[in-house]
Structure 1
Amino acid sequence: MKKTIHANGITMAYQIDGPETAPVVVMSNSLMSSLEMWDDTIVALTSHYRVVRYDTRGHGQSEVTPGPYSIELLANDLVGLMDALQIKKAHLVGLSMGGMICQFVGAHFPERVASLSLCDTASEMPPRSLWEERFAIARQQGLAGLVDGTIKRWFLEGFIASEPAKIERVRKMILSTPVDGYIACASAVRDMAQSTMLLKITAPTMVLLGRQDPACTVAQATVLHRVIQHSSMHIIDDAAHLSNIEKPAQFNSALKSFLDSVQ
């Protein structure tokens, strides 16, 4: 059940599942999604972990404030949520934009981080022109103008054809994202330059991604893995950007194995 809380100056929507006394995992969602993107993942974690999910500023049921945002602001939101929920330290799991947010928290708030799982993400996302084109479409057509291209980047053709119910669920999640929230968060992704910052990360880290991810590629993941000390990399075959939805069994197995290993 979603709840709301005041954190870092805004109203944030969140959900908690799992035993009260278990180690805490905080999960951060991708651009154009909400905490429901983790529905297929938490089932593998809640017997051993207390899982906190939240809607990023400008997404889902969290407050939309004037943009543009920065990854620093979104990272402060995550830490602010932990403060509001009285969570001193947690395992952070982020996918795409969520992974970018977790990178920042790992570098600047090391005392709050038990481990990092950086999924289908990157430390830089050029070119700027690509984002400007998407913003123009969003302003003119709403997220409906971006939804089909997004789904084709997020999933392989075979999955789109064979899992219409899951694709429809994702489509509704994308279309429910406020345009202003999308542009403000995407501006943070556009302007991000975090590769050097990765050197500051000291928490145990797993880089996890789909091999066919066209948005955050294996090459970009390799940068994370090579620069972050104490990191490992796990690649899921036959998966694109939202590997947690496309290959949930493989994703969940890799994630839980990593979390169990760093307890």
Structure 2
Amino acid sequence: MKNHINANQIKMAYQIDGPENGPIVIMSNSLMSSLEMWDSNISALTDRYRVIRYDTRGHGQTQVTEGPYSIALLAQDLVALMDALQIKQAHLVGLSMGGMICQYIGANYPDRALSLSLCDTASEMPPRSLWEERFAIARTSGIMGLVDGTIKRWFLGDFIQREPQQIEHVKHMILGTPVDGYLACASAVRDMAQSTMLLKIKAPTMVLVGKQDPACTVDQATVLHRLIPHSSMVVLDQAAHLANIEQPQAFNKALRGFLDSVA
């Protein structure tokens, strides 16, 4: 069940699973999703870890404020959430936009990150024209206008055919994103330039990517791996952008193995 707390002057939604005294793992969601995107991954961790997931600003049940946002602001939100929950340090797991937020914390708040799991993410997201096109659709047709294109980027065709219930669940999550929240967060992703920042990351880091991810590619993951000093890289075959949903067993095995090795 979702809880709500005030952090960084906004009302944030979050959920906690797992044992009270377990090492803390915090999971940060992608653009156009909510903390429910991690539903297939929680049970693989909660025998040992206390897992906290939250809705990013402008998404799910967390407050929408006037945009545009920056990755720095979204990272400050997560640090403020940790402060509000009296968490000094945590293992940070982020996918896509969530991974961008975790990169920023690893580089700029190094004492807060015990480890980083950067999944299907990148340190820069060109070209700008691609974002302007999506913004125009969102403004004229709402989030509904973006659903089909998003699903095709997030999942391989055979998964879409094979798992209609999962796809419906994901569509519901996408459609639950307020247009203003999408535009404000997508602006943060569009304007991000974090490659040089990666050199400052000290925490043990796993870079994980779906081999067929068209949104945050294997090449972009390789940049993260090469620039982050203490990093390993995992490529999951038969997975596009939401590898944690498309290949949950392989994703969970990689994530759990990494967390156990550093925790």
TM-score range, shorter chain: over 0.9
CA distance in 1, matches of 2:7, 2:40: 26
CA distance in 2, matches of 1:177, 1:43: 25
CA distance in 2, matches of 1:246, 1:203: 27
Question: Structure 1, residues 120-162: CA drift from partner, whole Å, max 9, x if none?
Answer: 0000000011101100100100010000000000000000000
Other-structure match for 1:24: 24
C-alpha displacement of 1:30: 0.1
Aligned counterparts, 1:245-260, within 5 A? 245-260=245-260
Other-structure match for 1:92: 92
The runs of 4+ residues in structure 1 deviating greater than 6 Å are none
Other-structure match for 2:71: 71
Aligned counterparts, 1:120-139, within 5 A? 120-139=120-139
Question: Structure 1, residues 177-223: CA drift from partner, whole Å, max 9, x if none?
Answer: 00000000000000000000000000000000100000000000000
Other-structure match for 1:211: 211
Aligned counterparts, 1:1-263, within 5 A? 1-263=1-263
CA distance in 2, matches of 1:39, 1:172: 14
What is the letter of the counterpart of residue 30 of structure 2? S
The residue matched to 2:41 in structure 1 has which SS?
helix
Q: Structure 2 length as normaliser, TM-score?
A: 1.00
Unaligned runs of 5+ in 2: none
Q: Structure 1 length as normaliser, TM-score?
A: 1.00
What is the letter of the counterpart of residue 191 of structure 1? D
The residue matched to 1:253 in structure 2 has which SS?
helix
CA distance in 2, matches of 1:200, 1:115: 14
C-alpha displacement of 1:13: 0.2
CA distance in 1, matches of 2:46, 2:94: 17
CA distance in 2, matches of 1:129, 1:234: 30
RMSD: 0.3
C-alpha displacement of 1:232: 0.1
CA distance in 2, matches of 1:53, 1:231: 23
What is the letter of the counterpart of residue 53 of structure 2? R
Question: Structure 1, residues 218-262: CA drift from partner, whole Å, max 9, x if none?
Answer: 000000000000100000000000000000000000000000000
Number of matched pairs: 263
CA distance in 2, matches of 1:192, 1:8: 21
CA distance in 1, matches of 2:164, 2:136: 29
CA distance in 1, matches of 2:209, 2:166: 19
CA distance in 2, matches of 1:74, 1:255: 23
Question: Structure 1, residues 97-139: CA drift from partner, whole Å, max 9, x if none?
Answer: 0000000000001101100000000000000111011001001
The residue matched to 1:206 in structure 2 has which SS?
strand
The residue matched to 1:173 in structure 2 has which SS?
helix
CA distance in 2, matches of 1:142, 1:173: 14
Unaligned runs of 5+ in 1: none
The residue matched to 2:64 in structure 1 has which SS?
coil
